[in-house]
Amino acid sequence: MKKHFAVLVAGLLAVSLVGVSALAQEFPNRPLRLLVPYPAGAGPDTIARPFANGMSGFLGQPVVVENLSGGGGVPAVLELKKSPPNGYTVFFGESSQWAVYPSLRPDAPFDPIADFAPIGQVYSTDLYIFVAASSPVKDLADLIARARANPGKLKFGVTGVGGIMHLAGEAFKAAAKVNAEPIPYRASGESLQGVLRGDLDFAVAGYGSIGALVESGKIRPLVTMSSERNTLYTPMVAAMPELVQDAKAFDFPSEIGLIALAGTPRPVIDKLNAAMRAGQKDPGFQKALRAVYYVAKPSSPEQLAERIRSDLAKYRAVARLANIKAE
């Protein structure tokens, strides 16, 4: 009896494996949906479209961008959740959705570990601490010294309460052992103007927002808020671990990854990862990245999965430390 049962199980397993293999060979046989949690014409959307074209050329099927903006990206995540786990619907997701949002909301309507099947990282941009070119603050050591001499008096600009820039700023405060007041703005452009007007002592923003002003000499970046220097755009600017003793594991880039629904067959994930890499080589995609100072970051599904896990742990720790609550 046991022998017959074992033979039956082996037979079913073989049939299952053949079915999965056939699915991967046939995939895709119809158009795919690329869910983008930003409005048409917004920065990530202008990058997603040539990326989708590159994927389409590899897969031999259209990859249609669908914009589901607002709500912190949650509408796009929920659309992914209600789609079949077959690879035909994928999510152009940001670390704000896979880590920041669920870190601040225990009742989030999705679990990035249980609900996502990572495909790979698409691109990233580094965050920076910066000051106006006219600021008396000359470097990060000078900023830290001034903050320690005037606890709680320095003001720094961030985009939104509980956003990635706010959390990165709080992580800097903890590592550097300083106290400064975060001033939230609705958009990064507003905090930039606050720095230029002298309303703020410093601010945190992605290089996509400040690159043109750095090149024109209007603002001065003090540090990259990542584990390594950005050798492509700011090789002269040190990374946080180089300058702050208690920041050896400091790493707060803003990232975009390609994500499918949990349960998607691994051969389909692998094919989507290959298509993702083709999309990253698309000339239009590369041109769009350079226009906003972003960097392509091809990775394996396992690397993105580990990134999601580590980001969740990191942002939850910072939110608890700074007592940051979702608005």
Share of the chain above pLDDT 90, in %: 87
Say how many Å lie between the first and final Cα of the chain, rounded. Answer: 61
Which phi and psi angles does 302 have, rounded to 5°? -65, -40
Residue range(s) of every CATH 3.40.190.150 domain in the chain: 21-124+253-322
Alpha-carbon distance 267 to 265, whole Å?
6
Q: What is the mean pLDDT of residues 315-326?
A: 92
Q: What is the model's pLDDT at position 21?
A: 57
Whether the per-residue pLDDT at 102 is higher than 70: the answer is yes
With a cut of 70, say whether residue 5 has pLDDT above it: no
Write the pLDDT tens digit of every residue in 23-51.
567 999 999 999 999 999 988 999 999 99
Cβ neighbours for 183, distance < 8 A, ≥ 6 positions apart = 155, 156, 157, 158, 191, 194, 200
**Where would I find the beta strands (DSSP E) of the chain?**
32-36, 63-67, 89-94, 116-125, 127-132, 155-159, 181-185, 202-206, 219-224, 254-261, 295-296
User: 3-class SS at 141?
Assistant: helix
**How confident is the model at residue 248, as a pLDDT?**
87
In angstroms, rounded to a whole number, what is the distance separating the alpha carbons of residues 290 and 296? Answer: 10
CATH 3.40.50.150 describes domain 127-243 = no
Per-residue model confidence as pLDDT tens digits over 45-55? 999 999 999 99
Summarize the confidence of residues 211-236 as an average pLDDT: 96
Q: Is the pLDDT of residue 221 over 60?
A: yes
Which of 8-12, 116-120, 210-214, 273-277 has the least mean pLDDT? 8-12
pLDDT tens digit string along 204-217? 999 999 999 999 99
Of 3-12, 47-56, 318-327, the least confident? 3-12
Neighbours of 148 (CB within 10 A): 13
254-301 pLDDT per residue, tens: 999 999 999 999 999 999 999 999 999 999 999 999 999 999 999 999
Residues 124, 130, 133, 137, Cα dihedral to 10°: -150
- Residues of CATH 3.40.190.10 domain(s) within the chain? 127-243
Res 17 pLDDT > 60: no
pLDDT of residue 12: 52
In which band, very low, low, confident or very high, does the pLDDT at 15 lie, cut at 50, 70 and 90?
Answer: very low
Kindly tell me if the per-residue pLDDT of 10 is higher than 60.
no
The CATH number of 21-124+253-322 is 3.40.190.150
